[in-house]
Structure 1
């Protein structure tokens, strides 16, 4: 029995779709659609870079450059964001899947498929934020779709702001998809699934907030 890889159906009907996936022996179009997802991630990050989203920390340096150096730095910034898009997709697709695979008997490709649905949700969030940033010059942690805005009203501690800036409606949606999908793909109890999925996501948010907080550009 085979099942067609359908990310959109996985978003709309996760319980039904991943039950069908769990019963399948073959995932038709799996590799092709995973590569397409990675390409889409690179494209969205490139679009963000093309419109200058995220250039604020280096904008002061750019103003001191001559036209040739300025264009060269823009190119490096674009290439850097494309690499970031590649790494972002790879981490979201394969790292949580590996964690879920080690604690269950589910097939690894099926877990990657689940993370593919998660990645689409996160890329939609990235694209919407890019549109907001272009029009309103928002920092990523000030997205109205996240808890970062509320956190800035309650504290000035940067790490806290960055952490809660990671928590958004789209992230919660992705977590719900992960739980529903894992419930069909594994035999892990729902309570344990909640703990596992929340732990994986919270650790990711902590690491991301810490990396932003450290600001390696100031250490070079």
Structure 2
């Protein structure tokens, strides 16, 4: 079966999308779609930085820098964020897909990467919500009302725990659902094993995100 991969359909009709993906003999447009989500990730990260989100350390140096130096620092910050977006996409696409592939009896790695491309799109949509939250409400990403970060701040003062729980949001539930539908259809493994691997994989990523934030490396997030 030779059909082109349509990522938007995967978000709207995941069951039908993964059924088609499973029976596809040739993935038409695979490289183009992967490059597209890489570009999308870079653009989203760049857009967020263009609003000055994450530039607090640089803003504190405003009075100490010449106008030229400050503009150069802003450009380097933007460039760094774009590179971060590319690296972020690579990690989200290929690392979980590799983990899911290890439990697969018949799943093709590239098809699992396609599954993760849908997850990446969801995560990028979530990042876009950080823009109005930051601009209009002055909220950090871990204080999003769509996450457990808000509740965490009422029950603990430990930053790492707040960052960790702030990673869990309604968008992550959507991503879980997409991952489950894709991995189930493509690997034909037992439900308990699929959920266990998905949960542990995401907990690992949340722990890494919380650790980066705790170490004040938020520009990498």
Q: Tell me, yes or no, if the aligned pair for 2:103 and 2:187 is still in contact at 8 Å.
A: no
Give the match for residue 119 of structure 1. Answer: 120
What are the residue-to-residue correspondences of 1:76-91 with 2, within 5 Å? 76-91=76-91
Secondary structure at the aligned position of 1:3 is classed as strand
How many angstroms does 1:135 deviate by?
Answer: 2.0
Give the match for residue 96 of structure 1. Answer: 96
How many angstroms does 1:132 deviate by?
Answer: 2.1
In the alignment of these two chains, the number of paired residues is 217
Q: Structure 2: how far apart are the matches of 1:79 and 1:192?
A: 40
- 5+ residue gaps, structure 2, are none
Q: Structure 2: how far apart are the matches of 1:30 and 1:180?
A: 20
Q: Structure 1 residue runs of 4+, over 4 Å off?
A: none
Give the match for residue 155 of structure 1. Answer: 156
CA RMSD of aligned residues (A): 1.3
Secondary structure at the aligned position of 2:61 is classed as helix
Q: Structure 1: how far apart are the matches of 2:44 and 2:192?
A: 35
Q: Structure 2: how far apart are the matches of 1:185 and 1:58?
A: 46
How many angstroms does 1:117 deviate by?
Answer: 0.6
How many angstroms does 1:130 deviate by?
Answer: 1.6
How many angstroms does 1:62 deviate by?
Answer: 3.2
Secondary structure at the aligned position of 2:60 is classed as helix
**TM-score w.r.t. structure 2 length?**
0.94
How many angstroms does 1:131 deviate by?
Answer: 2.6
Give the match for residue 171 of structure 2. Answer: 170
Per-residue CA deviations over 1:23-62 (Å, capped at 9, x if unaligned) read: 1101111111110111011011111111101112332123
Give the match for residue 200 of structure 1. Answer: 201
Give the match for residue 13 of structure 1. Answer: 13
Per-residue CA deviations over 1:105-129 (Å, capped at 9, x if unaligned) read: 3111100100011111111111121
Q: Structure 2: how far apart are the matches of 1:30 and 1:130?
A: 30
Give the match for residue 75 of structure 1. Answer: 75
Q: Structure 2: how far apart are the matches of 1:50 and 1:60?
A: 17
Give the match for residue 62 of structure 2. Answer: 62
- 5+ residue gaps, structure 1, are none
